[in-house]
Amino acid sequence: MMDRDRIHPAIAAAVLFLVAEQYADAHEAARFIRPEVVEQDYVCTILAEDIRDLARGNFQSILDRAQRRLAAIFAGGPLEHRGMTALFESLVVGVDLFATEVLAQEGIVAELWPRRIHNAKPCG
């Protein structure tokens, strides 16, 4: 679905539709995001699943995944690979924070999940 050199067209389409506030189109594009079909790095799979759920409006699924996933992603190997992993992990945490903000505004989340983001401050 994604790596240092490419991103799947369905992921790109979903993100662009979300930015353009075309939520129905983003939801449609999310149908084609299937990270479980492709072998890839763990963090890439998590990010693809998060983007799919974001496009579908499944914020609770994002938070459930955040509670289950590893606290930190270890990346060995070449500098390019470590940099890609750090970038994708930052994007995952950003999606997690956004989902937390949305659900907190709706009164669904009572507190930020302190195990994962104990130092994070809400945007705005």
| Weakest mean pLDDT among 55-59, 98-102, 104-108, 117-121 | 117-121
Residue 116: which pLDDT band, with cuts at 50, 70 and 90? very low
Tell me: pLDDT of 115 over 80: no
The tally of domains found in the chain comes to 1
Which pLDDT value is given to residue 92? 92
> Which residues are within 8 A (CB) of 88 and not within 5 positions of it... i.e. 6 or more apart?
2, 41, 43, 44, 47
Q: Are 46 and 68 within 8 A, CB to CB? A: no
Residue 21 lies in a domain: yes
User: Domain limits at 55?
Assistant: 9-105
Residue 110 lies in a domain: no
Residue 116 lies in a domain: no
Residue 67 lies in a domain: yes
For the segment 39-59, what is each residue's pLDDT rounded down to a tens digit?
A: 888 888 999 999 999 999 999
